[in-house]
Amino acid sequence: MSQQLATEDGGYIELFKLQKLFEARFALLPSIDPGYTADVPIEDAYRNDTVYATVLVRPSNPDFDHSWLNGDKGISMTLLLTRIIPAEDTRAIGGCYSIKQASDIDASSSAIDREVKLVIKKAILTFMGKYIDSLPYTVYECLKFVDRELCNIYEICGKAINRALGSSSVDGSSTSNQPSGGNAVNTTPNSDCNTEVDTWTLQEQKSLEFALGKTKGITNPAQRWAAVASIVKTKSAEECRRRFQRCRDQLRNKASEQKKALAEMPPEYQTVLARSDPLRLLDLELEKISVFNLLNFVAQLVCTRCTAVFDVGFSHGDKKTVVITRSCDNCHMAQRCEFQPVIAFGSQPTVGNLSLENCTFVDFISGEFFVTCESCDTQCKVRDVQNGTSKRSNCRGCFAKLALGFRGVEFGRDNTVETRVNKPVHVRPKVSRPKTPGVRGLKVGTPLPDNGSCKHYAKSFRWFRFPCCGKLFPCDVCHDEGSDHPYELANVIVCGHCSTQQPVSNKKCHNCNRGYSASTSAHWEGGKGCRDAVKLSKKDSKKYGLMRRQAEQAQSAARSTTSTGQTRHQRK
């Protein structure tokens, strides 16, 4: 049983493939101490989380000049292999191995220069970072890649050394294209290759980024780069400046290439940023918070075919974009939702970009935010922030009182364009087709469906947001009919005339200054009753009185018109 288990394990298979590839030039050690001389068999090594592997990479490329090795048979390396256990695939017995950082690679061969060792380390780390999620046996494929690219590695190092020594000739009369013996390497002086040896480690890069943020208040460039170098400690001010300039140029080139590729791409293949709409918070309230971002939230969506309403939870974690695919529970239409969060602050309340296919955004129910204290830059989470409410918390660093709240959420762009028409244009009326009644989200300035009324309360022009679930319903009866839990007293209402969200109150809406319920009077139904005596019912007691008053008003108007005409005639 153990033999069968070992054969199916991914780590065991990878170590076995490495042993078959290098044969006697491959060995496994429990430690790099000189006292450990006995090799560890694969049957015992694959069960450990880490294992040291010594390998002798012997160039197999026929174009490789073996004189570069100064008589050695190959490049000897000691690698620290770290076991990766996949968290998502529970059916897998174990994962494969990885090489995480530059200190896990020890090129102990004395025949190669320091620049060659650095390039080999960078090539291994770059390959591992690029293919760790796509290749099942990454270390095995990486060492094969290094064997194939040894010629290019030596050429890169040779060009870098020649540029540093100033040995490149301008007239191109050097004989660098011819092979040379000893420690010389093939170089091309006339080549315009700008390849440089990257000796920056991950820790130095992080120190540089930290130093750039700490010294952004220094206006003098020389003083600033000197301060940056003092924080990095292992690099000079000029090296830090060139590293920053190189990273900035790479980011600019990458952004321009993405923009150019996006312009040539058909709409159906564009990224989520190109075909998505922003999700903005309205009436944002921040207290002692500098920036924040949305970690996860629950949105209410509606199917575009059958108008079935459903809830979707977006939780991206460490991912830049969260993608949710599902099918409608009612009509089984395929639906896709993509959300990409962005950093938001007071003057930029957009929390992300949302792309929806075969569904429409209705409402933002609740969310969890990651906020940054503006006093001490401490980051903390603010959980269960419902739409239309404010959430308070204390900073864990300076214990300042933090507050985050908003009065609504707006999804999409305002694409309305005002057009002026000089002369009337005749448009053929289109034949209206019956459409499925749709459910839309809140749009401030537009009335709610049926002005917010329902079959239970026909004269109530408002919706309520219930804190038990964070959803909108016209009344408590509608909530109990559409939910699986009893309602709690609502603390937020939405005006049925203008869709403005505000706290519960018996006063008029602070936006449109209209009431939430229909006003009643003795006869005219709050101004909406019939005022034509001819159309009034005979059973209405006010019918003939209204007819008499209207007749008297008509007679008085006729008399005034006649008297005015006679007066003008006498004056003439």
Last residue of a domain, one of 243, 264, 285: 264
Residues 281 and 333 in one domain: yes
pLDDT value of position 507: 82
pLDDT of the residue at 247: 86
Tell which of 165, 188, 210 closes a domain. Answer: 165
Determine the pLDDT at residue 87.
55
Beta 350-357 vs 359-373: how paired, if at all? unpaired
- Residue 157 shares a structural domain with residue 287: no
Rg of the chain on CA atoms, in Å = 38
Tell whether 258 and 323 lie within a shared domain: no
Is 419 contained in some domain? no
Q: What is the pLDDT of residue 102?
A: 80
Q: How many domains does the chain have?
A: 4
In single-letter form, the type of residue at position 552 comes to E
Does 179 fall in a domain? no
What are the structure tokens assigned to 275, written together?
A: 């075909």
- pLDDT for 171 equals 41
Q: Are residues 47 and 92 in the same domain?
A: yes
For the record, the structure tokens of 188 come out as: 């091309």
Q: Report the chain (572 residues): mean pLDDT per 10 consecutive residues.
A: 54 83 80 63 80 83 74 81 66 63 78 78 83 80 84 70 44 39 39 50 84 84 90 88 86 69 51 67 89 89 89 79 87 87 87 88 89 87 86 88 88 49 44 48 80 86 87 88 86 87 84 77 53 72 75 85 68 59
Q: Same domain for 324 and 350? A: yes
Assigned token pair, 262: 């996006």
Inter-residue contact 138 to 12 (CB < 8 Å): no
In this structure, is residue 153 part of a structural domain?
A: yes
Same structural domain, 387 and 480: no
Looking at the fold, whether 160 and 59 belong to one and the same domain comes out as yes
Kindly give, in sequence order, each residue whose CB lies less than 8 Å from that of residue 105, ignoring residues fewer than 6 positions away: 77, 78, 79, 80, 99, 120, 121, 124, 125
Residue type, 1: M
Please tell me the chain's helix, strand, coil percentages from 3-state DSSP, rounded to the nearest 5.
Answer: 30, 25, 45
Q: Considering the domain boundaries, does residue 557 fall inside one?
A: no
Contact 279, 352 (CB under 8 A): yes
Residue 170 pLDDT: 38
Question: Which residues have CB under 8 Å from 173's CB, separation 6+?
Answer: none
CATH of the domain at 242: 1.10.10
Asked if residue 160 and residue 19 are part of one domain, the reply reads yes
Residue 527 in any domain: the answer is no
Torsion angle in degrees (nearest 10) through CA of 286, 287, 289, 291: 10
Residues 237 and 298 in one domain: no
Task: Please indicate, yes or no, if residue 346 is contained in any of the structural domains.
Answer: yes
Among 503, 519, 535, the domain-final residue is: 503
313 and 236 co-located in one domain: no
How far does CA 114 lie from the centroid of its chain?
Answer: 41
On whether residue 560 sits in a domain, the answer given is no
Global pTM value: 0.43
Q: Which domain holds residue 220?
A: 202-264
User: Considering the domain boundaries, does residue 329 fall inside one?
Assistant: yes
Task: Identify whether residues 344 and 470 lie together within a single domain.
Answer: no
246 lies in the same domain as 291: no
pLDDT at residue 163 in the model? 46
> Residue type for 435, please?
K
